[in-house]
Amino acid sequence: MRTFIILSAIGLASVCTAQQPYPLESVMRFQVWDGSGWTNEISVLPGSRVEWRVTVSYTGANTNVFALGGVRYQPTISNWDNDGQSVDQLAPWRNGGQSGEPAVGAFGMLDKAEAVGSSALDDYGRAGFGTPGMINAYQNRMTSFTHAGGSGGAPSGSWLRIAGSFVSMWPREDGDPWTVDDGNRVARGVGAGQFQWNGSESHPYFIAGTQDNVLLRQAVTLSADSGARTLELTTGEWSMLRAGGVGSADNRRFISWYDSPSDDSLGSYRSSVSFVPATIHVIPPIPAPGAIAVCAGGALILARKRRR
């Protein structure tokens, strides 16, 4: 009986000291262009090019929230084809993946028309919310990492992951203890944030609004491999900003928003976030009616039946 009472007390203490999560009041959506609108699912042929983007919205009841503060995230694409003669490819990053909004002005960013548009671009990147800067000096240039078979701490399977150049390892979902490198693998993910004030004046690049804020645009050209597969574009809480610092067990993840005109801390109102993935179904072409497959010398040949 004494042992049971001690264990129960320990369990009760653990429950009482656990941190309550931030309210679930944000949604991050991954979307693909289907030729007429942004959607979360598309079917295409091998070798197709698909435009895609990331947006974030506030969905809560706090009517004082009026603009995005800050967020970190790392887009992933599952079932990534990275071997053979034909492979999946992302479009080039603008300015080699370096971008931001220092005092001298924005650089390497998509402008508003490019961010909200759907036409193919020569190069891609972050849209509008350029703080913090993603530059070589911070080991944070936008970089695409591939993982296969659990490499770099990734889940099983084949993946593409987008983050700052420092983040070669897949970030941990939790850490005991949470280390400096653990923190940097989150902080140097893809950043989206903004300051409300520039000294005593409104910041020239401040963007108000809480719905469908476009954070990133990119495009993928799929390999010509003929196998059917489905790619999922998404991310997870493991890539989001974390409440606890080095050595802390507080693993709450969040997006920050502005809910006060006087706030200049990249937004002090925090919420947790849900994710809506996008899927790309790669479907091989169907042989024309009347065609038959003939195996000759180990090669697959399509031949049309002669009409009689």
Residue ranges of alpha helices (H) inside the chain are 2-17, 112-116, 180-187
**Domain assignment present for 16:** no
Amino acid (one-letter) located at 35: G
| C-alpha closest to that of 94 among 74, 76, 115, 78 | 115
266: which 2 tokens?
A: 């990249």
> What is the rounded CA–CA span in Å between residue 111 and residue 93?
14
Position of tokens 């997870």?
236
pLDDT digits (tens, 9 = 90+) for 35-49: 999 999 999 999 999
Calculate the average pLDDT of the chain.
89
**Domain assignment present for 282:** yes
**Domain assignment present for 217:** yes
pLDDT at 305 over 50: no
pLDDT at 143 over 50: yes
> What is the rounded CA–CA span in Å between residue 137 and residue 202?
27
Task: Report the Cα 156 to chain-centroid distance in Å.
Answer: 18
Which structural domain range is residue 32 located in?
A: 25-304
Show Cβ contacts of residue 249 under 8 Å, excluding neighbours closer than 6 positions: 176, 177, 178
**Domain assignment present for 197:** yes
pLDDT at 163: 98
**Domain assignment present for 9:** no
**Domain assignment present for 1:** no
**Domain assignment present for 207:** yes
**Domain assignment present for 2:** no
Q: What does the DSSP assignment read for 141-204?
A: -EEEEEEETTGGGPPSSEEEEEEETT--SPPPS--SSPPHHHHHHHHTSEEEE--SEETTEE-T
Q: Is the Cβ–Cβ distance between 36 and 282 less than 8 Å?
A: no
Q: Per the structure, how many domains does the chain have?
A: 1
Work out the average pLDDT over 124-131. Answer: 95
pLDDT digits (tens, 9 = 90+) for 201-228: 999 999 999 999 999 999 999 999 989 9
pLDDT digits (tens, 9 = 90+) for 161-200: 999 999 999 999 997 899 999 999 999 999 999 999 988 8
pLDDT at 93 over 70: yes
Work out the average pLDDT over 48-61. Answer: 98
pLDDT digits (tens, 9 = 90+) for 247-304: 999 999 999 999 999 998 899 999 999 999 999 999 999 877 765 444 333 333 333 3
Work out the average pLDDT over 1-13. Answer: 38
pLDDT at 9: 38
